[in-house]
Amino acid sequence: MMITDVRQVCHPEAVRQFDTDALRAHFLVDGLFDPGTIQLTYSHIERFVIGGATPLATPLRLESDRATIGSANFLDRRELGVFNIGGPGTVTTDGAVHALGPRDALYVAMGTTDVVFASDDPARPAKFYLLSTPAHARHATKVVRAAEAKSLVLGDQATANRRTITQMIHPDVVTSCQLVMGMTQLAEGNIWNTMPCHVHDRRSEVYLYFDVAPDARVIHLMGNPSETRHLIVADGEAVISPPWSIHSGVGTRAYTFIWGMGGDNIDYTDMDMVAMDQLR
Ligand SMILES: O=C[C@H](O)[C@@H](O)CC(=O)C(=O)O
Ligand SMILES: [Zn+2]
């Protein structure tokens, strides 16, 4: 499988000059859930691979790309987080079948040679969101059900950011090398995700927005706190957040997103809050 979408690292001083098309070309990832395909984007930010697998009647196998990944199997030196945002399906890792219902996740260990995605019903396909980072130790492959993960309810209706944060690939739930992932669901009538916002220069992050109604959008905020930019994001689209960037968003109505991080530590709370008067 050839990975044709490769994103380079951008210096924040360069990003200041980007127009809308350039910002989207560098930081927005769309087309992830093209039915019957696996889509992969390689980012030199944290060497994330961001992907979607949407199997129909034929199961789909995750293959490496020697030129991009540099190893025979995709996970020879990587770990993988899989979140199912579609109908029920299975992920088979080296012959072990893991059933993933809607919103369930799977941590896949480094060194797994064979990963196959399937849908239970092609008429209601599973949609597997994939996020992979380099890894240097093998930890156990583990299914994480949303109901069994760690949940936090944050924010208030008055500030329109009442939301449930479910920490799924998190040190209290599953052991990983550097990958930390979870899901944040906005309560009905709430639209802001993380605001006041933060940066964490030690780690980069990717947001995948979903449960976005066809006629709704999320205005994703990025950039240096004093030099913000925005991306208008539709359902099933992801945004790469460099280490120097804020990552926050406001929807035209409630939505859900999966956040995933890689970098220098796995401490979810390691964030540098940005004071409101620093934002421009
Ligand atoms: O570093 C942590 C991440 O930015 C997210 O987990 C934030 C988030 O889900 C939220 O506030 O709604
Ligand atoms: Zn963050």
Q: Which ligand is nearest to the CA of 192?
A: 1
Instruction: Supply the pLDDT for residue 95.
Output: 98
Instruction: Supply the pLDDT for residue 220.
Output: 98
Instruction: Supply the pLDDT for residue 146.
Output: 86
Instruction: Supply the pLDDT for residue 228.
Output: 98
**Matching residue, tokens 């001083």:** 13
Nearest residue to 197 via CA among 277, 275, 250: 275
Specify the DSSP class assigned to residue 26: H
CB-CB contact of 107 with 142 (8 Å): yes
Q: Which contiguous run of DSSP H or E holds residue 268?
A: none
Q: What 3-state class would DSSP assign to 120?
A: coil
- Max CA distance (Å), the chain: 54
- Expressed in angstroms and rounded, the spacing between residue 198 Cα and the centre of ligand 2 is 6
Q: What is the mean pLDDT of the chain?
A: 98
Q: Say how many Å lie between the first and final Cα of the chain, rounded.
A: 42
**Matching residue, tokens 């499988």:** 1
d(CA 84, CA 130): 9
Instruction: Supply the pLDDT for residue 5.
Output: 98
Q: Whose CA is nearest to atom 9 of ligand 1?
A: 184
Q: Could you tell me if the CB of 184 is within 6 A of ligand 1?
A: yes
The average pLDDT across 171-186 equals 97
Q: Which of 194, 204, 266 to mutate to test the pocket of ligand 1 (most atoms within 8 A of CB)?
A: 194
Domains in the chain: how many in total?
1
Instruction: Supply the pLDDT for residue 259.
Output: 98
Q: Could you tell me if the CB of 193 is within 6 A of ligand 1?
A: yes
Closest ligand 1 atom to Cα of 247:
4
Query: 147 pLDDT exceeds 90?
Result: no
Please write the tens of the pLDDT for every residue from 106-142.
Answer: 999 999 999 999 999 999 999 999 999 999 999 999 9
pLDDT band at 166 (very low <50, low <70, confident <90, very high): very high
CA angle 105, 107, 113 (to 5 degrees): 125
- Expressed in angstroms and rounded, the spacing between residue 248 Cα and the centre of ligand 1 is 8
Q: What residues form DSSP beta bridges with 205? A: 241, 261
- Expressed in angstroms and rounded, the spacing between residue 207 Cα and the centre of ligand 1 is 9
Q: Could you tell me if the CB of 266 is within 6 A of ligand 1?
A: no
The average pLDDT across 181-194 equals 98
d(CA 76, CA 104): 24
26 annotated ligand binder: no
Query: 93 pLDDT exceeds 90?
Result: yes
- Expressed in angstroms and rounded, the spacing between residue 202 Cα and the centre of ligand 2 is 10
pLDDT band at 58 (very low <50, low <70, confident <90, very high): very high
Query: 11 pLDDT exceeds 90?
Result: yes
Instruction: Supply the pLDDT for residue 148.
Output: 87
- Expressed in angstroms and rounded, the spacing between residue 149 Cα and the centre of ligand 1 is 16
Query: 32 pLDDT exceeds 90?
Result: yes
Query: 1 pLDDT exceeds 90?
Result: no
Q: Which CATH number goes with the domain that contains 159?
A: 2.60.120.10
Instruction: Supply the pLDDT for residue 202.
Output: 97
Q: Which ligand is nearest to the CA of 269?
A: 1
d(CA 223, CA 244): 7
ipTM of the complex, rounded to two decimals: 0.98
Neighbours of ion ligand 2 (CB under 5 A): 205
Please write the tens of the pLDDT for every residue from 34-45.
Answer: 999 999 999 999
Query: 205 pLDDT exceeds 90?
Result: yes
- pTM of this structure: 0.98
- Domain residues for the domain of 199 are 5-278
Looking at the chain, how many residues does it have?
280
